[in-house]
Amino acid sequence: MPKDKLALIIPTVNRIEYISRLLESVRRQSLFPQELLIIDAGPLDISHILKKYSDMNIRYIIAGPPSLTKQRNIGITNLSESITLVGFVDDDIVFEEKSLENMLKFWETETPDIAGASFNNIYYNYRSPNIFEYFFLVSSSQRGKLLKSGFNSPILSIDSTRGVNWLFGGITVWRRKVVEEFKFDEWFTGNAFCDDVDYSHRVGKRYKLMVVKNAKVIHLTSQIDYTKEFIFGKTVIMNRVYFVRKNREFSLVLCCWACFGVCFGNLIKGILWHDRGLLRRACGNFIGLCESVSAGRNKC
């Protein structure tokens, strides 16, 4: 048996079908986590659904209103004393065969300077960045890299266990001492876009960050509701600018350049593909950039 005791913290908002799918994938694992903490910020009590999974040590905690960062921090404060590793898992994740076992094997052999390790997000449609993304400093061919613009290249379907500059918040395991030292920034509200970049970057200044090849998961994200595209577009820009302003080693000028590239790209794709959702997102990107720049000037 592994010497480490793993807890999984799962923030959710009454998404019964997602939680059920995730827990079914946990049940199929060769090793169970020591405990699962489901932090639910929805209006309904779904504890009766969890009775189906009585073979797993599940603790159901109601916490509202919905805020991913706040729910994660609540999970940290409710950990059992025996826990040594803390995993944060989005409710739309599915674990592949022996994923948890392989993650725990990784931690058995690693040195204390490693703070966190992500599962390997298997995404078969991964593509290399295009010229447009290179030009606007939105992404990089090096997976898991943080650019001077404050944007991050994706970490998908890696072919070897490796070090990276940032870790995806919804599929990562941290040492307990790390999550007790570093809290999630609750400025990031709602789905907290970019909070994982912020959190892992802060930790990564002092410790190493890794991605584990054989600990595989699938992230089955749902399509964004058309009516929420504008808010989503605005949020991704404002959160990115906040992150760059907070961490002065990045360039605010290059960040704004990359944000403009995101806005311009969504606009062009929206026009060419006759996609009203992307057009609404581009409008949100533009407003978010304008408001972020204006807010920065007002502080001067």
pLDDT (tens digit, 9 = 90+) per residue, 34-77? 999 999 999 888 998 899 999 999 999 999 889 999 999 999 99
User: Model pTM?
Assistant: 0.95
Q: What is the pLDDT of residue 173?
A: 98
Q: What is the pLDDT of residue 136?
A: 98
Of 116 and 224, the structure prediction assigns the larger pLDDT to 116
> Average pLDDT for residues 188-194, to the nearest whole number?
94
When pLDDT is cut at 50, 70 and 90, the band that residue 295 belongs to is: confident
Of 3 and 79, the structure prediction assigns the larger pLDDT to 79
Count of Cβ atoms closer than 10 Å to residue 19 Cβ: 21
Q: What is the pLDDT of residue 221?
A: 80
Q: What is the pLDDT of residue 296?
A: 67
Averaged pLDDT score across all residues of the chain: 94
* pLDDT tens per residue, range 119-167: 999 976 678 899 999 999 999 999 999 999 999 999 999 999 999 999 9
